[in-house]
Chain A
Amino acid sequence: MKTKLHLLAIFYRSFGLYLWVVAIGAWYLLGRPTGRDLGVVIPALVLFKFFLQAITVRILRSRYAHVFFFYANASLSQRSLFAAAFTADLVFFFLSMGTIQLASEWM
Protein backbone atom coordinates (compact mmCIF):
# COMPACT_ATOMS: atom_id res chain seq x y z
CA MET A 1 0.00 0.00 0.00
CA LYS A 2 2.86 2.34 0.93
CA THR A 3 4.55 1.60 -2.40
CA LYS A 4 1.35 2.27 -4.33
CA LEU A 5 0.88 5.62 -2.57
CA HIS A 6 4.49 6.48 -3.39
CA LEU A 7 3.90 5.58 -7.05
CA LEU A 8 0.70 7.66 -7.15
CA ALA A 9 2.64 10.60 -5.69
CA ILE A 10 5.35 10.20 -8.34
CA PHE A 11 2.71 10.18 -11.07
CA TYR A 12 1.00 13.29 -9.68
CA ARG A 13 4.32 15.12 -9.24
CA SER A 14 5.10 14.62 -12.95
CA PHE A 15 2.43 17.18 -13.91
CA GLY A 16 0.71 18.40 -10.72
CA LEU A 17 2.67 21.62 -10.34
CA TYR A 18 1.82 22.64 -13.91
CA LEU A 19 -1.91 22.11 -13.28
CA TRP A 20 -1.76 24.08 -10.04
CA VAL A 21 0.22 26.99 -11.53
CA VAL A 22 -2.10 27.31 -14.54
CA ALA A 23 -5.22 27.32 -12.32
CA ILE A 24 -3.75 29.90 -9.93
CA GLY A 25 -2.59 31.90 -12.98
CA ALA A 26 -6.17 31.87 -14.29
CA TRP A 27 -7.43 33.17 -10.92
CA TYR A 28 -4.77 35.92 -11.08
CA LEU A 29 -5.76 36.89 -14.64
CA LEU A 30 -9.40 37.09 -13.56
CA GLY A 31 -8.39 40.00 -11.29
CA ARG A 32 -7.50 38.06 -8.10
CA PRO A 33 -11.10 37.94 -6.87
CA THR A 34 -11.75 37.28 -3.17
CA GLY A 35 -14.80 37.13 -0.91
CA ARG A 36 -18.11 36.85 -2.76
CA ASP A 37 -16.36 37.49 -6.08
CA LEU A 38 -14.24 34.39 -5.54
CA GLY A 39 -17.41 32.34 -4.99
CA VAL A 40 -18.66 33.56 -8.35
CA VAL A 41 -15.53 32.53 -10.31
CA ILE A 42 -14.92 29.20 -8.51
CA PRO A 43 -17.31 27.20 -10.77
CA ALA A 44 -15.58 28.61 -13.86
CA LEU A 45 -12.15 27.79 -12.42
CA VAL A 46 -13.26 24.24 -11.61
CA LEU A 47 -14.52 23.80 -15.18
CA PHE A 48 -11.20 25.17 -16.41
CA LYS A 49 -9.41 22.60 -14.24
CA PHE A 50 -11.49 19.79 -15.77
CA PHE A 51 -10.47 21.10 -19.19
CA LEU A 52 -6.78 21.09 -18.15
CA GLN A 53 -7.12 17.58 -16.78
CA ALA A 54 -8.62 16.38 -20.07
CA ILE A 55 -5.68 17.90 -21.95
CA THR A 56 -3.27 16.25 -19.51
CA VAL A 57 -4.84 12.84 -20.15
CA ARG A 58 -4.58 13.37 -23.88
CA ILE A 59 -0.93 14.48 -23.80
CA LEU A 60 0.20 11.72 -21.45
CA ARG A 61 -1.62 9.01 -23.39
CA SER A 62 -0.27 10.14 -26.74
CA ARG A 63 3.28 11.31 -25.95
CA TYR A 64 4.23 9.39 -22.82
CA ALA A 65 2.14 6.23 -23.17
CA HIS A 66 5.15 3.96 -22.53
CA VAL A 67 5.57 5.33 -18.98
CA PHE A 68 2.25 3.76 -17.98
CA PHE A 69 3.96 0.36 -18.18
CA PHE A 70 6.12 1.45 -15.24
CA TYR A 71 2.99 1.75 -13.13
CA ALA A 72 1.28 -1.28 -14.70
CA ASN A 73 4.17 -3.46 -13.56
CA ALA A 74 3.28 -2.30 -10.06
CA SER A 75 -0.38 -3.26 -10.66
CA LEU A 76 -1.63 0.31 -11.13
CA SER A 77 -4.06 1.06 -13.95
CA GLN A 78 -4.30 4.33 -15.85
CA ARG A 79 -7.76 4.84 -14.39
CA SER A 80 -6.52 4.63 -10.79
CA LEU A 81 -3.53 6.86 -11.56
CA PHE A 82 -5.63 9.61 -13.10
CA ALA A 83 -8.40 9.32 -10.51
CA ALA A 84 -5.94 9.70 -7.63
CA ALA A 85 -3.92 12.46 -9.30
CA PHE A 86 -6.95 14.56 -10.28
CA THR A 87 -8.52 14.14 -6.85
CA ALA A 88 -5.29 15.39 -5.27
CA ASP A 89 -5.20 18.20 -7.82
CA LEU A 90 -8.70 19.38 -6.86
CA VAL A 91 -7.91 19.10 -3.14
CA PHE A 92 -4.78 21.28 -3.54
CA PHE A 93 -6.75 23.74 -5.67
CA PHE A 94 -9.51 24.15 -3.08
CA LEU A 95 -6.93 24.39 -0.28
CA SER A 96 -5.22 27.18 -2.22
CA MET A 97 -8.51 29.01 -2.80
CA GLY A 98 -9.40 28.57 0.89
CA THR A 99 -6.04 29.96 1.93
CA ILE A 100 -6.49 32.96 -0.39
CA GLN A 101 -9.97 33.57 1.04
CA LEU A 102 -8.78 33.39 4.65
CA ALA A 103 -5.81 35.64 3.91
CA SER A 104 -8.06 38.24 2.29
CA GLU A 105 -10.37 38.23 5.34
CA TRP A 106 -7.47 38.77 7.76
CA MET A 107 -5.95 41.64 5.77
Chain B
Amino acid sequence: MDVATHHTLEADSIWLAYQEQKILQNIYIKLETGHITGLLGRNGTGKSCLMRMIFGTLRGESQSVRVNGDYISHPYLQAGLISYLPQHNFLPKQLRVKEVCQLYHVDFEAVCEHFEALQQYRNTRIGDLSTGNVRLIGTLLVVLLPVSFTLLDEPFAALSPLAVEQMRKVILGQKPHKGILISDHSYEDVVAMADETYLLVPVGRSIRLKNVHSELAEFGYI
Protein backbone atom coordinates (compact mmCIF):
# COMPACT_ATOMS: atom_id res chain seq x y z
CA MET B 1 0.00 0.00 0.00
CA ASP B 2 1.30 3.43 -0.98
CA VAL B 3 2.29 5.20 2.22
CA ALA B 4 2.35 8.62 0.59
CA THR B 5 -1.42 8.83 -0.03
CA HIS B 6 -4.19 9.30 2.49
CA HIS B 7 -5.87 6.16 3.81
CA THR B 8 -8.71 5.53 6.21
CA LEU B 9 -9.48 2.44 8.25
CA GLU B 10 -12.93 2.07 9.73
CA ALA B 11 -13.95 -0.66 12.15
CA ASP B 12 -17.59 -1.19 13.00
CA SER B 13 -20.21 -3.89 13.59
CA ILE B 14 -17.75 -5.36 16.07
CA TRP B 15 -19.39 -7.79 18.42
CA LEU B 16 -17.45 -10.04 20.76
CA ALA B 17 -18.71 -12.27 23.58
CA TYR B 18 -17.12 -14.96 25.74
CA GLN B 19 -19.51 -17.55 27.17
CA GLU B 20 -22.60 -15.32 26.85
CA GLN B 21 -20.72 -12.38 28.41
CA LYS B 22 -20.64 -9.41 26.07
CA ILE B 23 -17.19 -7.82 25.71
CA LEU B 24 -17.62 -5.56 22.70
CA GLN B 25 -20.74 -4.35 20.96
CA ASN B 26 -21.78 -1.31 19.03
CA ILE B 27 -18.20 -0.25 18.26
CA TYR B 28 -17.19 2.30 15.69
CA ILE B 29 -13.65 3.57 15.34
CA LYS B 30 -11.92 5.38 12.51
CA LEU B 31 -8.19 5.71 11.84
CA GLU B 32 -6.66 8.01 9.28
CA THR B 33 -3.11 8.34 8.04
CA GLY B 34 -1.63 11.49 9.52
CA HIS B 35 -3.68 11.08 12.69
CA ILE B 36 -3.04 9.56 16.08
CA THR B 37 -6.16 8.07 17.65
CA GLY B 38 -6.29 7.41 21.37
CA LEU B 39 -8.17 4.46 22.84
CA LEU B 40 -8.92 4.57 26.54
CA GLY B 41 -10.96 2.41 28.86
CA ARG B 42 -10.85 0.75 32.23
CA ASN B 43 -9.28 -2.68 32.67
CA GLY B 44 -11.41 -5.38 31.07
CA THR B 45 -13.39 -3.13 28.75
CA GLY B 46 -11.96 -4.90 25.71
CA LYS B 47 -9.30 -2.53 24.36
CA SER B 48 -6.83 -5.31 23.53
CA CYS B 49 -9.60 -7.47 22.04
CA LEU B 50 -10.71 -4.57 19.86
CA MET B 51 -7.16 -4.06 18.60
CA ARG B 52 -6.78 -7.75 17.80
CA MET B 53 -10.11 -7.74 15.96
CA ILE B 54 -9.02 -4.75 13.88
CA PHE B 55 -5.68 -6.47 13.24
CA GLY B 56 -7.59 -9.58 12.18
CA THR B 57 -6.15 -12.23 14.51
CA LEU B 58 -9.23 -12.37 16.76
CA ARG B 59 -12.63 -13.21 15.33
CA GLY B 60 -15.80 -12.21 17.12
CA GLU B 61 -19.48 -12.80 16.49
CA SER B 62 -19.20 -10.13 13.81
CA GLN B 63 -16.65 -7.58 12.64
CA SER B 64 -16.18 -5.26 9.75
CA VAL B 65 -12.89 -3.57 8.92
CA ARG B 66 -12.81 -1.39 5.84
CA VAL B 67 -9.78 0.32 4.35
CA ASN B 68 -10.65 3.18 2.01
CA GLY B 69 -14.17 1.73 1.96
CA ASP B 70 -13.13 -1.80 0.96
CA TYR B 71 -13.94 -4.64 3.35
CA ILE B 72 -10.90 -6.64 4.45
CA SER B 73 -11.48 -9.87 6.38
CA HIS B 74 -7.95 -10.29 7.79
CA PRO B 75 -6.08 -6.97 7.61
CA TYR B 76 -2.81 -8.40 8.94
CA LEU B 77 -2.52 -10.66 5.90
CA GLN B 78 -2.33 -7.62 3.61
CA ALA B 79 1.36 -6.83 3.25
CA GLY B 80 2.21 -3.25 4.18
CA LEU B 81 -1.20 -2.49 5.67
CA ILE B 82 -1.10 -2.86 9.43
CA SER B 83 1.13 -3.70 12.39
CA TYR B 84 0.22 -4.49 15.99
CA LEU B 85 2.11 -4.22 19.26
CA PRO B 86 0.66 -6.70 21.77
CA GLN B 87 0.98 -6.20 25.53
CA HIS B 88 3.45 -9.06 26.02
CA ASN B 89 6.77 -9.86 24.38
CA PHE B 90 6.18 -11.30 20.95
CA LEU B 91 9.76 -11.54 19.71
CA PRO B 92 11.23 -15.08 19.52
CA LYS B 93 13.88 -15.39 22.22
CA GLN B 94 16.33 -17.31 20.05
CA LEU B 95 16.70 -14.54 17.45
CA ARG B 96 19.29 -11.77 17.56
CA VAL B 97 18.28 -8.11 17.52
CA LYS B 98 19.88 -7.46 14.13
CA GLU B 99 18.13 -10.48 12.59
CA VAL B 100 14.73 -9.38 13.90
CA CYS B 101 15.26 -5.93 12.37
CA GLN B 102 16.17 -7.47 9.00
CA LEU B 103 13.08 -9.70 9.04
CA TYR B 104 10.88 -6.67 9.67
CA HIS B 105 12.69 -4.57 7.03
CA VAL B 106 13.59 -2.05 9.70
CA ASP B 107 17.10 -0.61 9.55
CA PHE B 108 18.95 -1.35 12.80
CA GLU B 109 20.85 1.93 12.46
CA ALA B 110 17.51 3.77 12.24
CA VAL B 111 16.46 2.10 15.49
CA CYS B 112 19.72 3.20 17.12
CA GLU B 113 19.23 6.77 15.89
CA HIS B 114 16.33 6.98 18.32
CA PHE B 115 17.94 4.99 21.13
CA GLU B 116 21.75 5.04 20.86
CA ALA B 117 22.16 2.69 23.82
CA LEU B 118 20.69 -0.14 21.73
CA GLN B 119 23.80 -0.14 19.48
CA GLN B 120 25.57 -2.52 21.88
CA TYR B 121 22.79 -5.12 21.50
CA ARG B 122 23.13 -5.62 17.74
CA ASN B 123 24.19 -9.26 18.07
CA THR B 124 22.44 -10.02 21.37
CA ARG B 125 19.71 -12.63 21.48
CA ILE B 126 16.26 -11.34 22.44
CA GLY B 127 16.19 -13.84 25.30
CA ASP B 128 19.35 -12.31 26.80
CA LEU B 129 17.95 -8.76 26.92
CA SER B 130 16.29 -7.17 29.96
CA THR B 131 12.48 -6.97 30.00
CA GLY B 132 12.64 -3.22 29.39
CA ASN B 133 14.95 -3.53 26.39
CA VAL B 134 12.85 -6.33 24.87
CA ARG B 135 9.81 -4.09 25.17
CA LEU B 136 11.69 -1.13 23.76
CA ILE B 137 12.92 -3.05 20.71
CA GLY B 138 9.53 -4.68 20.14
CA THR B 139 7.77 -1.32 20.29
CA LEU B 140 10.30 0.37 18.01
CA LEU B 141 10.04 -2.41 15.43
CA VAL B 142 6.25 -2.21 15.30
CA VAL B 143 6.27 1.59 15.17
CA LEU B 144 8.93 1.71 12.43
CA LEU B 145 7.47 -1.10 10.29
CA PRO B 146 6.68 0.28 6.82
CA VAL B 147 2.86 0.01 7.03
CA SER B 148 -0.10 2.37 6.74
CA PHE B 149 -1.68 1.67 10.14
CA THR B 150 -0.15 0.81 13.49
CA LEU B 151 -1.97 -0.43 16.58
CA LEU B 152 -0.08 0.09 19.84
CA ASP B 153 -1.27 -1.68 22.96
CA GLU B 154 0.49 -0.13 25.95
CA PRO B 155 3.62 1.11 24.16
CA PHE B 156 4.86 2.89 27.28
CA ALA B 157 4.63 -0.11 29.61
CA ALA B 158 7.98 -1.19 31.12
CA LEU B 159 9.75 1.90 29.74
CA SER B 160 11.63 4.39 31.91
CA PRO B 161 10.39 8.03 31.91
CA LEU B 162 13.19 9.13 29.57
CA ALA B 163 12.45 6.26 27.21
CA VAL B 164 8.74 7.16 27.26
CA GLU B 165 9.58 10.71 26.23
CA GLN B 166 11.80 9.47 23.40
CA MET B 167 9.20 6.92 22.31
CA ARG B 168 6.61 9.68 22.10
CA LYS B 169 8.92 11.50 19.68
CA VAL B 170 9.37 8.35 17.58
CA ILE B 171 5.61 7.82 17.36
CA LEU B 172 4.98 11.45 16.48
CA GLY B 173 7.70 11.18 13.82
CA GLN B 174 5.76 8.33 12.16
CA LYS B 175 2.46 10.20 12.29
CA PRO B 176 2.69 12.06 8.95
CA HIS B 177 2.48 8.85 6.91
CA LYS B 178 0.64 6.49 9.25
CA GLY B 179 -2.64 6.11 11.06
CA ILE B 180 -1.81 5.19 14.65
CA LEU B 181 -4.13 3.77 17.29
CA ILE B 182 -2.65 3.97 20.75
CA SER B 183 -3.90 2.59 24.04
CA ASP B 184 -2.09 3.00 27.34
CA HIS B 185 -2.99 3.43 30.99
CA SER B 186 -0.70 6.45 30.98
CA TYR B 187 -3.75 8.30 29.67
CA GLU B 188 -2.20 11.77 29.83
CA ASP B 189 0.47 10.69 27.33
CA VAL B 190 -2.23 9.26 25.06
CA VAL B 191 -4.44 12.34 25.25
CA ALA B 192 -1.47 14.66 24.67
CA MET B 193 -0.54 12.84 21.45
CA ALA B 194 -3.98 11.99 20.10
CA ASP B 195 -5.87 13.98 17.48
CA GLU B 196 -9.05 12.21 18.54
CA THR B 197 -9.79 9.95 21.47
CA TYR B 198 -12.25 7.10 21.94
CA LEU B 199 -13.34 5.75 25.29
CA LEU B 200 -14.58 2.19 25.72
CA VAL B 201 -17.28 1.99 28.36
CA PRO B 202 -19.19 -1.01 29.73
CA VAL B 203 -20.55 -2.97 28.07
CA GLY B 204 -18.31 -2.66 25.03
CA ARG B 205 -19.48 0.64 23.60
CA SER B 206 -17.11 3.17 22.04
CA ILE B 207 -17.60 6.87 22.57
CA ARG B 208 -15.70 9.48 20.64
CA LEU B 209 -14.75 12.17 23.12
CA LYS B 210 -15.18 15.82 22.22
CA ASN B 211 -14.22 17.43 25.50
CA VAL B 212 -11.73 14.78 26.57
CA HIS B 213 -10.92 15.57 30.19
CA SER B 214 -14.42 16.45 31.29
CA GLU B 215 -15.93 13.41 29.53
CA LEU B 216 -13.29 11.09 30.98
CA ALA B 217 -14.36 12.32 34.43
CA GLU B 218 -18.04 12.11 33.51
CA PHE B 219 -17.72 8.45 32.48
CA GLY B 220 -15.73 7.62 35.60
CA TYR B 221 -12.42 6.90 33.86
CA ILE B 222 -10.53 9.46 35.97
Across chains A and B, the number of contacting residue pairs, with CB separation under 8 Å, is: 48
Nearest-neighbor residue (CB-CB) of B91 within chain A: A70
Return the contact of A66 from the options B83, B89, B95, B145 (Cβ within 8 A): B89
Chain B 197-208, CB-CB to A under 8 Å as 1, else 0, gives 000000000000
> Would you call A3 and B103 a contact (CB within 8 A)?
yes
B106 nearest CB across to chain A (Å): 11
Nearest-neighbor residue (CB-CB) of B94 within chain A: A14
Chain B 122-141, CB-CB to A under 8 Å as 1, else 0, gives 00000000000000000001
Q: Does A68 interact with chain B (Cβ within 8 Å)? A: yes
Please, how many angstroms separate the alpha-carbon atoms of A77 and B88 in the complex? 19
Which DSSP category, helix, strand, loop or mixed, fits chain B's interface?
loop
Nearest-neighbor residue (CB-CB) of B78 within chain A: A75
Q: Other CB < 8 Å A-B pairs besides A6-B103, A72-B55, A75-B79, 6 of them?
A: A3-B103, A68-B57, A70-B91, A72-B76, A73-B142, A75-B78
Q: Does B105 interact with chain A (Cβ within 8 Å)? A: yes
Q: Does B74 interact with chain A (Cβ within 8 Å)? A: yes
Inter-chain contacts of B15 with A (CB < 8 A): none
Which DSSP category, helix, strand, loop or mixed, fits chain A's interface?
helix
> Would you call B77 and A66 a contact (CB within 8 A)?
no
Within 8 A of B (CB), among A77-100: 77
> Would you call B95 and A69 a contact (CB within 8 A)?
no
Q: Does B220 interact with chain A (Cβ within 8 Å)? A: no
12 sampled A-B residue pairs with Cβ under 8 A: A7-B103, A10-B95, A66-B90, A67-B90, A68-B90, A70-B92, A72-B76, A74-B104, A75-B76, A75-B77, A75-B79, A77-B76
Q: Does B86 interact with chain A (Cβ within 8 Å)? A: yes
